Amino acid sequence: GELHQLLQPPPYQNFVIESSLWPIRVHYASSSEEAMAQEILATAETSWAVEIEQFGFYAPPIEPGKEKYDYSIESGSGPGGYTVPYAENPLTDWTDCYSYIVIDASTPESIVGGVVAHEFNHAAQTAMDCLEIRTFFENSATYIMDRVIEGQDFFGISYMPYFQAYPWRSLDDFGEAYDLYEYGGALFVWYLADTFAPDDGPNLLAEIWQACLQNDQNNEPDYYDAIEIALAARGIPTSMEDIVADFSVARFFVGSWDDGAHIREASSFVNAEPTPVNRYGIQVLPLLDQRPLVEHRPAPYATNHILLDLPPVFNNKVQIDFDGAEDTRWAVRAVLFGGRQETQSQSVTLDETWQGAIELAPTGHSGVLLVVTNLGTEDYDPDNMRRPTSNYSYSLRTKAPPAQLIALHPDQTIPGLQSQKFHIEGSGFYRGPDFAVEFDDPNIEVTHITGVTALRVDLILSLSSTVTLGAKTITVTNQGGEQTSSQNFLTVIDPETILDTNSKQGGCQTTGSKSTNWLGLCLLFGWVLRQRRGVTRQVFESK
């Protein structure tokens, strides 16, 4: 119908040049375009030799009666080019298409070669599967164009920031309002090649396209299936879920974040660092039940990165808790990096309700990275173009090791004492919401903790008049729940004993054990004595 007519190759123009190496020709309208036509033909010949003969892509089919594959120079579409599959090829057992390529006359000379190599890869793709979704077309061609123009990685790298700006969008998503997202997705192909075929990445990509072949209109297998098929054929059994979970970590370590342990040459991916959904300093912890913004919730086969910066000296542990919605599947990784330490990545074990927790010891590292990947439902298919986002929550806590207890000052007290100041001497105290001090006797109340440093805890105690006499055990709970207990840290004594002892000695003594505040106790016992005398006077006067 009308669409078929619209997609037909443009009419032949006034001038044409043909290749003597491959069945290629270039049409152009004006002699002023001859130099450009020559450049197009030269790169088209190179593209055929490299992409078809070396990498293993299929040669684009040529409709009977045409004899040559057609390139045209035209004006009006803007700098660049496009490939048009205009009719299915009935001569093969798979769903491939006849196509042609148009290069716009306004394309700058500096990028003509890259545009031609890119568009020729589209022609080779349509020779294998002209039903595959546009995303993989552009992922692949953007990666390949740099492999054809030897020594030049400009095109793929320059597009990566458009992809990395939206890690929460599906890998198979394509550009909204032509935002170049799917072109930047060449990073995913780069990762596949570097991870699974470091010596022949373009050949692996061609094998994936070969695995896409089908003879129906359902695009099955799609390119997710084909990736698994091609890797299995190479003796690398894996799943797209595992690949996406690994890629979600690797895509963080590019540009200025490159750690040299994920994608080769990733430091050259300028401005391609992914956008984290949140970044925190250690001072804001604990963070409980945090959730991404609605617009940042990950779609299937997409990810969120949450970054926690650590101070230069940090010896505490970090605990991460995760709770994912049950409308999808999740993969969660906790990564320690930076500080000139080796990057360490651990999977967070999740139960059947997608909940899990992990405890990290990041000593020496400068950052903790939480990578949350939505793996989609088991029946997720990129062809249906439904990409529902899913929600989750996470908590970040510091967890200090147990504190060391040395002494309590004063270390003696009496029943009925109210609002008396004490302090604990020790080390490793770390205050937070979990921090607590308590005694084994419920009649001893810690009414206030007035200060905490690494070496000292200041507190105020109140004792019931019914508290039992004797030695008491103290327990200090550090931030994160680690506890330390010590017996005989505080002794509750009978004030009668002290008063009798002091009266025999001729008054309060200020010498003795260094850990006992005798002066304070004497003042307190003086108060008890005055209270007792006041009671006696009241009784006498009443009589």
Nearest alpha-carbon partner for 55 in 240, 193, 177: 193
pLDDT band at 539 (very low <50, low <70, confident <90, very high): very low
67: phi > 0 → left, psi -120 to 50 → alpha, else beta; which? left
Quickly state the pLDDT bin for 149 (edges 50, 70, 90): confident
Tell me the C-alpha distance between 43 and 49, whole Å: 10
Tally of CB atoms within 10 A around 541:
7
Please tell me the predicted confidence (pLDDT) of residue 206: 98
For CA atoms 326, 327, 328, 330, give the dihedral sign.
Answer: negative
Structure confidence by residue, pLDDT tens digits, 75-115: 988 899 999 999 999 999 999 999 999 999 999 998 999 99
Extract the tokens encoding 264.
């080769």
HEC string of 88-138 equals ECCCCCCCCEEEEEEEECCCCHHHHHHHHHHHHHHHHHHCCCCCCCHHHHH
pLDDT digits (tens, 9 = 90+) for 466-476: 999 999 999 99
Say what the pLDDT of residue 504 is. 52
Distance CA 225, CA 211 (A): 8
Angstrom distance (rounded) from CA 118 to CA 145: 5
pLDDT in tens, 202-237: 999 999 999 999 998 899 999 999 999 999 999 999
Identify the pLDDT of residue 536.
38
What residue type is assigned to position 346 of the chain?
Q
Query: For residue range 324-370, what is the model confidence (pLDDT) as tens digits?
Result: 999 999 999 999 999 999 999 999 999 999 999 999 999 999 999 99
Share of the chain above pLDDT 70, in %: 91
What value does the mean pLDDT of the chain take? 90
pLDDT-based confidence at residue 16 (cuts at 50, 70, 90): very high
Confidence (pLDDT) at 537? 41
- How many Å apart are CA 28 and CA 32, to the nearest integer? 9
Cβ atoms within 10 A of the Cβ of 311, count? 9
Checking if the pLDDT of 479 tops 90, the result is no
Output 482 or 187, whichever has higher pLDDT. Answer: 187
Q: Can you tell me the mean pLDDT for 133-148?
A: 96
Q: How confident is the model at residue 518 (pLDDT cuts 50, 70, 90)?
A: very low
The reported pLDDT for the residue numbered 318 is 96
